[in-house]
Structure 1
Amino acid sequence: MLNLKYEKPGTRTASNLVPGAGKAALLCCSMVFFWPQAAAADWPEFPVPDEAKVVVVGEDMNINGLPTQIWELSSSRAPEEILGYYRQEWQDPAVSDGPGYIEKEAGGWQILSRSEEPYFYTVQVTEAAMGSSFGFLAVSMPMELVNHKPDEFAKPAGSEILLDLASDDAGKRGRVVQFKNPQSIEANYGFYRKRYMAKGWNELSQLPPDSTKAMLLMNKGNGEISIVFNRVDNESYGVLVESYD
């Protein structure tokens, strides 16, 4: 495999990452994110096409307890050329009688994945301006899932966690949680407002709840929390963002 070449940008916190959830969520597939102390030496080289630019999103992440690295990829080459590169790179099966890779399409993204024990590789790419390519690369270690215990997250009854992302970048900590439940916007809003105020958080501003939407912004010391609620098809969706300097 080729050595991964990348540029490391400035700090990216959870609140920076999740607005692009329409992109990253396909790659992450509603997975839970945490940040362990993974050793760089444990990671394999990830093949990258010539002339492609790769930027670090997370070097020591975890998805559902799986240690994971994710990069953002951009290239002047068309998506089909990028995909062709990986089809060629991964054409040989990693195990006997198995496929070299699996390919699928989801939401306008082309996704290739390959299992090469103990690693699982994923490439997702879509067309950008002037026929160029934009996408993500990820490699994880599924065998490390054993004994994973996710952090507790308080939520209204009947809630389903869609995404839980936590980060600690140079001392700036953040967490983003996406969830849904059948309860009303008013019930969700009241649940979190009451819970955080009981813990000493101050309400900064708000979009009072109605039947379809609400927003709550609070702070405490060097921490800030924003929660946005929306009602869609008889279910309430929430996005909670915590950040601490």
Structure 2
Amino acid sequence: MRFNMKGILASIIAIVFTVPCYALAGSEEVPLASGMQTKWVGQDIVHNGLKMSIQKFNYSGQPEELIGFYKSVWHAGVQPGLPGFITGSAGGWMVLSRLEQNQLKVIQFKDTGNGIEGFVSVSDIGKVSVREGFDLPRMSGSRLISETESNDSGAKATTFILQNDFSMQSNEEFYRTRLADKGWSLVHSDHVSNNAIMLMNGARGSLEITISYSDRGKSTVFANHVQR
């Protein structure tokens, strides 16, 4: 089963900027409540230098039952005087996080009205990975929000999310010109509402770029590179 990695990352990033403890990796080391059905999203992901994996889950019980389960298994604090876990919320997600040594264990979930869905995760915050591979050009002043490496059906994929104060048209022209200079060929381009979409092929793989312009005067660049 394939997952919308861009949508998953957007959900996780929204929590990163609002909750101190966030979900960035998945592992069987997190205890699972009865009724939780999990599927791997990725087991070999590097997000902003942190090694991680992500599991998506569905839960057949009630939110209170899920919270109660983690209260029971995470009740003991890892250090004297500290709680066993921390709760929070962001963007409609409930977040439960527990730090054990250098591992950040997180459950984030929401009630969809047809059941509970969420992500279960563990991130090794004690190790930072140095990325080697594709480097996306950036317009001056662009801010890197996220950079994530994963394996997409056996191919190495790198997803970048950038933001800057330039118009959608300026960003589109920049990437069209700069990437052409680097040997990339434009295969397809389109405009949908306030989004510009470009698909490119190069010697090192394929590249999909989506540029979205907001009414706040900022452009967000989503770029996904799949290495061949």
User: Residues 168-225 of structure 1: CA distance to partner in whole angstroms, max 9, x if unpaired?
Assistant: 3453122211111011222211211112111222112223699x44222211257322
1:77 CA drift (Å): 0.7
Q: Are the aligned partners of 2:57 and 2:120 in contact in 1 as well (CA < 8 Å)?
A: yes
Please give the residue correspondences for 1:1-245 in structure 2 after superposition, counting only pairs within 5 Å: 10=1, 12=2, 16-26=4-14, 45-130=29-114, 132-145=115-128, 148-150=129-131, 152-169=135-152, 171-207=154-190, 212-220=194-202, 223-232=205-214, 233-245=216-228
SS in 1 for 2:70: helix
SS in 1 for 2:186: strand
- Change in Cα spacing, 1:21 to 1:44, as seen in structure 2 (3 Å) is closer
- Change in Cα spacing, 1:243 to 1:44, as seen in structure 2 (3 Å) is closer
- Determine what percentage of the aligned residue pairs are the same residue: 26
Question: What is the number of equivalent residue pairs in this alignment?
Answer: 217
Q: Are the aligned partners of 1:189 and 1:209 in contact in 2 as well (CA < 8 Å)?
A: no
User: Residues 137-162 of structure 1: CA distance to partner in whole angstroms, max 9, x if unpaired?
Assistant: 111111113xx444544211111111
Which runs of no fewer than 5 residues in structure 2 stay unpaired?
19-26
* TM-score, reference length from structure 2: 0.84
Which runs of no fewer than 5 residues in structure 1 stay unpaired?
1-9, 31-42
1:29 CA drift (Å): 5.1
Greater share of strand? 2
User: Residues 21-59 of structure 1: CA distance to partner in whole angstroms, max 9, x if unpaired?
Assistant: 3433345559xxxxxxxxxxxx77210001211111222
Distance 2:121 2:17 in 1: 12
* TM-score, reference length from structure 1: 0.78
Greater share of helix? 1
Distance 2:112 2:130 in 1: 38
Distance 1:215 1:54 in 2: 32
